[in-house]
Structure 1
């Protein structure tokens, strides 16, 4: 297995995971923590991918310097909004050129997804896809990867998986089928109850 797994261990994420573990009974704290864990996780992942450029605006008395996201690169987050809505609530406000696509049962919505993804084969290097899941514990993610790779012809180099928790058995399956993918997570769950 050659899979690239990045375990994000930002100190704030660690603290929020501790609070989450101690407050599973209080659902509002539990959900609120997922919101912030997801936000910090996405922040850490996008630090590597977001490219900015400086723009200078000359005024009469001074020059202002602004930073803008490079418009040539298109970013897509494919996620089931019914599950991850709280995690990505503020992302679009912070990074307006990220397109968030609802992929509930991605395989059933093929035409809808294809219409929302505007691809130009010449600019394939300027497109980044992020499959965002709260928890990966079944084969649903494999269908999404297969769809993007085989039906929309997205190179595996441009597909990334972001998840708070992922099951080690699913990681093994992904690694056997798509060994060059990158997975960003905060926790790998091992099931020893067999």
Structure 2
């Protein structure tokens, strides 16, 4: 029997699992992550909340982050994820850009099954989403730098991060997908992962 239930998408999994929603700013990873956490009745970690003030101020000025800037941020987010996993039998949903393989390496927890959900879309579509967004430190003008740094994940790269018995799997979701449909897609993939354990 699936740990997530074939009929109800709101069942809590039997074993801990991490869901990482990743993609450029404006791709919808925070919206999807929050909805997934609601469906799974679990903790949601918003990656932006783990940025040091210096990073936020830098991005607000329109200055792209370097990997040196990202390193302490990803370390803090990884620590927060491990702390959230201490709850017994509880999944954790994380939203984080993870633009390149080095960033995914820094965040990955090899011993915990993980579904990496990459939100994929064109520069034009995501720029339009950012232009419509208000109240966020990442401006639409910064999107070009994010696409320049983006190295989309591939199944083999993601699979290589898992320790024996802890599968790491990639799921690509188009940014144009309605949120409800994207949630259902992720939950079905979690069911398939659970069925293998």
- Smaller-chain TM-score bracket: 0.3 to 0.5
- With normalisation by structure 1, the TM-score equals 0.36
State which structure, 1 or 2, has the greater radius of gyration over its C-alpha atoms. Answer: 1
